[in-house]
Amino acid sequence: MATLDARPIIAAGEEPFDQIMATVAGLTDNEELIILAPFEPIPLEGVLSSQGFTYDAVAIGNGDWQVTFRR
């Protein structure tokens, strides 16, 4: 399982998309990716869904979300 906390990246005013996609590229078959974000990353869910991923998005409090992607 890989985990990427996008919250500090976004808080610094940066875009985490490239780092997320690099992490996705390094996943092995059946490995999960957990993204922590300060909002539900709906556009990312669409991008990764088009690449064969399913996902579960859960609000974890304080406006933060945990999204688990599986292929």
Residue 45 domain boundaries: 2-70
| CATH code assigned at 15 | 3.30.110.40
Sheet holding 64-70, edge to edge: 2-5, 33-37, 64-70, 54-61
Q: Rounded to 5 degrees, what are φ and ψ at 20? A: -65, -45
Q: Is the pLDDT of residue 23 over 90?
A: yes
**Confidence category of residue 29, pLDDT binned at 50, 70, 90:** confident
Picking from 71, 21, 25, 12, the residue whose alpha carbon sits closest to that of residue 41 is: 21
Domains in the chain: how many in total?
1
Span 45-64, average pLDDT: 96
Q: What whole-number distance in Å separates Cα of residue 22 and Cα of residue 61?
A: 27
Question: Do 33 and 69 form a contact (C-beta atoms < 8 A)?
Answer: yes
